[in-house]
Amino acid sequence: MRILITAGPTREYLDDVRYLSNASSGKMGYALAQAALEAGHQVVLVTGPVDLKPPVGCDVRPVVTTEQMREACVAAFPDCDGVIAAAAVCDYKPRQKTSGKMTKTGQPISIELIETDDVLAELGASRGSRWVVGFALEAENARENALQKLRAKNCDAVVLNGPQAIGSETNDVVLLGRQGETLAQWSGGKNGIAQSLITWIGTNLRR
- Evaluate whether residue 23 is within a structural domain: yes
Rg over alpha carbons for the chain, rounded to the nearest Å, is 17
Q: Is residue 144 domain-resident? A: no
pLDDT of residue 138: 85
22 classed as catalytic: yes
Domain presence at residue 75: yes
In this model, does residue 43 exceed pLDDT 90? yes
Q: How many distinct structural domains can be found in the chain?
A: 1
Q: Do the Cβ atoms of 36 and 7 come closer than 8 Å?
A: no
Within a domain: residue 83? Answer: yes
Q: What share of the chain is helix, strand, coil (3-state, %, to 5)?
A: 30, 30, 40
How does pLDDT run across 50-93, given as a tens digit for each residue?
A: 999 999 999 999 999 999 999 999 999 999 999 999 999 999 99
Flag whether 183 is in a domain.
no
CATH code where residue 34 lies: 3.40.50.10300
* Alpha helices by DSSP H, the chain: 27-38, 66-76, 119-125, 142-152, 190-204
More confident position, 180 or 8: 8
Assess contact for 194 and 35: CB atoms under 8 A: yes
What is the domain extent for residue 87? 2-101+110-133+190-204
Catalytic residue among 22, 145, 154, 204: 22
d(CA 22, CA 186): 24
DSSP 12-23: EESSSS-EE---
What's the pLDDT tens digit per position in 141-200? 888 899 999 999 999 999 998 888 887 788 899 999 998 899 999 999 999 999 999 999
Say yes or no to pLDDT of 207 above 80. Answer: no
Q: Is the pLDDT of residue 133 over 80?
A: yes
Tell me whether residue 182 is in a domain. Answer: no
- Indicate whether 140 belongs to any domain: no
